[in-house]
């Protein structure tokens, strides 16, 4: 028995991060008790498939699942599926479940993810849906079978992916986005335009700088919408894709420090000596960037969960992975590495019209992030460059013959 035997870890949230924490804890030899509470009735599954292959009927539900219900038993993890933690006390080191049960913990892992945001004027009618859970995914897929025209509100990643899937299924997609370009704040104006073109070229009716000003109901369903561009559009189904609200109610009850839209955690992902947070709710003090980053992406949640599992089984260490995510839309594989909050230059490398290119986002001459369209190689070779935090010249980055790994080893604003 290890020195840690007898400790009880409670994980709240059995999604990407919570599941990874449980798995890593056991893999790393933790032999205390592990209880995982998950409001979802299903064991963990790959959320990213829900807007892509699963929606297009290219992947059966079994392949969407990360775990089968009996996997947790095999891992010696007590999975309480379909149960919600409704209260928490730091003083008593306990959480309370929706069936009244109280669970004491020695270590708590909070990985509660988020809930789709719903803007106030959007009516709660039968054909107005959001997409977060497997049940949402099944419902959307069923509803799409009978729908010819989908309205998507919001051209962020999930809205755009669903629109792309719907076009692939040869149905009509109308996307309404209030911003002048989609993802402009994250990717910059130019890339927002490239992204808009990607969808328009494939037949998405993307209306930017536009909002829904009126809803026309037919009984329990939306039949049409009035748009701010003066048009009225008939629709069969509406997907609300305007982001998520991180689920912070337990964090608030525990008195954890909030910031950057989530729970502030230190370099080791701890919000306090006995509380870890991971995934969409964690605003992590990243050692490479020296600031709190909160990232709503799959791989970040998995890796943070894994790091927490290993830390609980061993010793907490700074979590240093660079944020990375991908999105598949039509034949385009989009990848993003790093984190650019308030970049001052966006430097393209390659030809945006050629279908394969990248963009470097710089702040004070340092590369903060890289976005790649069908260009995984540049992402791979940029890791050291982002980590190095050395000043580099935009010219050197833009030049396709420049060896990015070599650039990481150099310093000085000339990049050479
Ligand atoms: C349709 C879709 C497509 C996506 N595609 C991509 C993609 O292509 N690439 C990418 O990088 N990311 C993608 N994402 C984002 C990615 O899935 C999330 O960032 C990731 O799942 C976050 O992990 P998490 O563990 O923080 O939260 P989740 O995976 O949401 O897990 C949180 C869990 O906590 C549970 N919970 C919440 N409150 C409580 C409570 N009080 N008690 C008990 N349980 C609770 C919830 O039920 C949920 O199951 C996508 C997301 C969606 C919805």
Q: Choose between 355 and 287: higher pLDDT.
A: 287
Name the region of 61 (left: φ>0; alpha: ψ -120 to 50; beta: rest).
Answer: alpha
Q: How far, in Å, is the centroid of ligand 1 from the Cα of 91?
A: 28
- Please give the pLDDT value at position 414: 40
**Residue 2 confidence (pLDDT) above 50:** no
Q: How far, in Å, is the centroid of ligand 1 from the Cα of 51?
A: 13
State the average pLDDT over residues 201-226: 97
Q: How far, in Å, is the centroid of ligand 1 from the Cα of 102?
A: 25
**Residue 3 confidence (pLDDT) above 60:** no
46 CA closest ligand 1 atom index: 17
Q: How far apart are CA 194 and CA 173, in angstroms?
A: 18
Q: Choose between 411 and 315: higher pLDDT.
A: 315
pLDDT in tens, 229-240: 999 999 999 999
47 CA closest ligand 1 atom index: 17
Q: How far, in Å, is the centroid of ligand 1 from the Cα of 148?
A: 29
CB 56 within 8 A of CB 141: no
Q: How far, in Å, is the centroid of ligand 1 from the Cα of 363?
A: 30
The residue with tokens 């933690």 is 85
Pocket of ligand 1 contains residue 12 by CB under 6 Å: yes
Domains of the chain are 8-115+244-313 (3.50.50.60), 118-240 (3.50.50.60), 331-411 (3.30.390.30)
CB 349 within 8 A of CB 400: yes
Pocket of ligand 1 contains residue 21 by CB under 6 Å: no
Pocket of ligand 1 contains residue 299 by CB under 6 Å: yes
- Rg of the chain over CA atoms, in angstroms? 22
- Please give the pLDDT value at position 71: 97
Which helix (H) or strand (E) is 145 found in, with range? helix 134-145
Pocket of ligand 1 contains residue 111 by CB under 6 Å: yes
305 CA closest ligand 1 atom index: 25
Q: What is the DSSP string of 54-82?
A: TTTT-S-HHHHBS--HHHHHHTT-EEEET
**Residue 50 confidence (pLDDT) above 70:** yes
pLDDT in tens, 53-81: 999 999 999 999 999 989 999 999 999 99
Q: How far apart are CA 254 and CA 88, in angstroms?
A: 6
Q: Residue ranges of the alpha helices (H) in 266-388?
A: 298-313, 376-388
Percent of the chain residues topping a pLDDT of 70: 97
pLDDT in tens, 39-48: 999 999 999 9
What's the token pair of residue 259?
């910031």
State the average pLDDT over residues 202-212: 97
What pairs with residue 103 in β-bridges?
Answer: 95
- Please give the pLDDT value at position 254: 96
State the average pLDDT over residues 342-359: 89
- Please give the pLDDT value at position 282: 98
State the average pLDDT over residues 268-277: 96
What pairs with residue 224 in β-bridges?
Answer: 216, 234
Q: Give the pLDDT band (50/70/90) at residue 342.
A: confident
**Residue 415 confidence (pLDDT) above 90:** no
Q: Give the pLDDT band (50/70/90) at residue 103.
A: very high
CB 86 within 8 A of CB 92: no
**Residue 15 confidence (pLDDT) above 70:** yes
What pairs with residue 303 in β-bridges?
Answer: none
Name which residue sits closest to atom 50 of ligand 1, judged by CA: 48
Query: How far out from the chain centre does Cα 368 lie?
Result: 19
- Angle at which helices 189-200 and 157-168 cross, to 10°: 20
Q: How many of the other CB atoms lie within 10 Å of CB of 294?
A: 21
pLDDT in tens, 393-404: 999 999 999 999
50 CA closest ligand 1 atom index: 1
219-223: Cβ within 8 A, 24+ apart: 220/125, 220/126, 221/125, 221/126, 221/127, 222/123, 222/125, 222/127, 222/128
Pocket of ligand 1 contains residue 198 by CB under 6 Å: no
190-194: Cβ within 8 A, 24+ apart: 190/346, 190/348, 190/359, 191/346, 191/359, 191/371, 194/352, 194/373
Strands 262-265 and 356-363: what pairing? Answer: unpaired
State the average pLDDT over residues 118-145: 96
- Please give the pLDDT value at position 190: 87
pLDDT in tens, 278-294: 999 999 999 999 999 99
Q: Choose between 253 and 409: higher pLDDT.
A: 253
Query: How far out from the chain centre does Cα 157 lie?
Result: 9
**Residue 328 confidence (pLDDT) above 90:** no
HEC profile of 228-292:
CCCCEEECCEEEECCCEEECCHHHHHCCCCEECCEEEECCCCEEECCEEECHHHEEEEECCCCEE
- Please give the pLDDT value at position 329: 85
User: What is the total residue count of the chain?
Assistant: 416
**Residue 348 confidence (pLDDT) above 80:** yes
Q: How far is CA 341 from CA 291, 345, 362, 406, 410, in A?
A: 10, 12, 10, 25, 24
- Provide φ and ψ at 397, rounded to 5°: -65, -40
Percent of the chain residues topping a pLDDT of 90: 88
- Please give the pLDDT value at position 413: 43
Q: How far apart are CA 153 and CA 140, in angstroms?
A: 14
Q: How far, in Å, is the centroid of ligand 1 from the Cα of 221?
A: 28
Average pLDDT, the chain: 94
**Residue 410 confidence (pLDDT) above 90:** no
State the average pLDDT over residues 167-186: 94
The SS3 assignment for 355 reads coil
320: nearest Cα among 387, 258, 393, 227: 387
The residue with tokens 């040869």 is 170
Q: How far, in Å, is the centroid of ligand 1 from the Cα of 75?
A: 22
């Amino acid at each position: 028995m290890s020195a840690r035997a007898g400790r009880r870890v409670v994980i709240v949230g059995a999604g990407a991060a919570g599941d990874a924490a449980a798995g890593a804890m056991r893999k790393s030899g933790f032999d205390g008790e592990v209880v995982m509470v998950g409001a979802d009735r299903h064991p963990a599954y790959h959320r990213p498939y829900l807007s892509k292959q699963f929606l297009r009927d290219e992947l059966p539900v079994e392949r969407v699942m990360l775990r089968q219900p009996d996997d947790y038993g095999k891992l010696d993890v007590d999975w309480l599926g379909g149960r919600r933690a409704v209260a928490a006390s730091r003083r008593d080191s306990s959480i309370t479940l929706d069936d009244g049960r109280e669970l004491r913990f020695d270590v708590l892992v909070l990985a509660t993810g988020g809930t789709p945001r719903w803007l106030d004027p959007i009516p709660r009618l039968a054909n107005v849906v959001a997409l977060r859970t497997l049940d949402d995914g099944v419902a959307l897929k069923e509803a799409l079978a009978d729908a010819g025209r989908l309205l998507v509100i919001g051209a962020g990643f999930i809205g755009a992916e669903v629109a792309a899937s719907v076009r692939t299924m040869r149905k009509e997609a109308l996307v309404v986005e209030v911003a002048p370009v989609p993802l402009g704040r994250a990717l910059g104006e130019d890339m927002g335009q490239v992204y808009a073109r990607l969808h328009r070229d494939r037949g998405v009716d993307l209306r930017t700088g536009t909002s829904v000003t009126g809803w026309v109901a037919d009984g329990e369903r939306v039949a049409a919408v009035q748009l701010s561009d003066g048009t009225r559009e008939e629709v069969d189904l509406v997907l609300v894709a305007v982001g998520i609200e991180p689920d912070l109610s337990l964090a608030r009850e525990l008195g954890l420090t909030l910031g950057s839209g989530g729970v502030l955690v230190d370099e080791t992902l701890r919000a306090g000596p006995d509380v870890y947070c991971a995934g969409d709710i964690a605003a992590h003090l990243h050692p490479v960037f020296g600031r709190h980053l909160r990232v709503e992406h799959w791989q970040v949640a998995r890796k943070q969960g894994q790091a927490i599992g290993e830390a609980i089984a061993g010793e907490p260490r700074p979590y240093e992975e660079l944020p990375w995510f991908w999105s598949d839309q039509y034949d385009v594989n989009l990848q993003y590495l790093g984190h650019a909050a308030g970049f001052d230059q966006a430097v393209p490398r390659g030809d945006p019209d050629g279908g394969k290119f990248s963009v470097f986002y710089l702040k004070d001459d340092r590369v903060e992030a890289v976005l790649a369209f069908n260009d995984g190689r540049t992402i791979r070779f940029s890791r050291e460059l982002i980590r190095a935090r050395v000043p580099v010249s935009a010219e050197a980055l833009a030049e396709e013959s420049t060896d990015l790994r070599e650039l990481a080893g150099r310093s000085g604003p000339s990049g050479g």
